Amino acid sequence: MKVLVIGLGGVTNGGKTTLAEKLKNMLPNCDIISQDDFFKPESEVETDERGFKLYDVLDALYMDEMVTSIRNWIKSPASSGVVKEEPQNTCDNMKNVYILIVEGFLLYNYEPLNELWNRRYFLTLPYEECKRRRSTRVYQPADTPGYFDGHVWPMYLKYKNELEENASMQVDYLDGTKSQEELLACVYSDIIQELNKLRE
């Protein structure tokens, strides 16, 4: 049994969840773990001096629990409830390969996760487009006025810079303004190459 762990990280509203879902539908034995499922309750998230809830930082997440969930999946993917149905175009030699897609906005800045990835992707968006998309979404709790500029975007830039300064980190950057079809085709073909390498 072989396991492939793919990270889909990057900017808020960059299309991570949509891309993960589409890949899951196209790949054999594929499962998704979403970082959004590991947010601490609002009462445990710090508030800064401006009254902004600091959600876009590692401390707002139960990261240890997330690492444990991923490790448990890697240990026994077959028992994770992953769908066994093979997509029509998949060959028999993929039967014992399991793929986990982990999607979230802060995947590569937490050291214990970094030994788990087979491939890392990072979706980017320009400021204006990100702000526009963010404004169309409803969050619980809702974004307060000035929250995007005061917290969300600065934290994205901070973590992205950390990533770019880490020379040992192999990351594929994806342009989130491209069509979902283009992004899907690009990542799907990469994953198929990785699967072929596993089989060799």
Q: What was the pLDDT predicted at 92?
A: 53
- Would you say residue 36 has pLDDT above 60? yes
- Reduced to 3 states (helix: H, G, I; strand: E, B; else coil), residue 135 is helix
| Entry pTM | 0.91
- Reduced to 3 states (helix: H, G, I; strand: E, B; else coil), residue 75 is helix
Residue 39: DSSP 8-state: B
Q: Is residue 36 annotated as part of the catalytic site, yes or no?
A: yes
Tokens (6 digits) for 86: 């093979």
Q: What is the mean pLDDT of residues 15-21?
A: 96
Percent of the chain with pLDDT over 90: 78
CA distance 108 to 169: 9
Q: What is the mean pLDDT of residues 127-141?
A: 92
pLDDT digits (tens, 9 = 90+) for 50-65: 999 999 999 999 999 9
Overall size of the chain counted in residues: 200
List 147's β-bridge partners, or say none: none
- The catalytically annotated residue of 31, 36, 64, 172 is 36
Q: What are phi and psi of 175, to 5 degrees?
A: -85, 105
Q: Are 39 and 104 in contact (CB under 8 A)?
A: no
- Would you say residue 143 has pLDDT above 80? yes
Helix (H) or strand (E) holding 7: strand 2-10
- Which pLDDT band, with edges at 50, 70 and 90, does 108 fall under? very high
Which residues lie closer than 8 Å to 192 by C-beta, 6 or more apart? Answer: none
- Which pLDDT band, with edges at 50, 70 and 90, does 88 fall under? very low
Q: What was the pLDDT predicted at 188?
A: 96
CATH number of the structural domain 6-77+95-198: 3.40.50.300
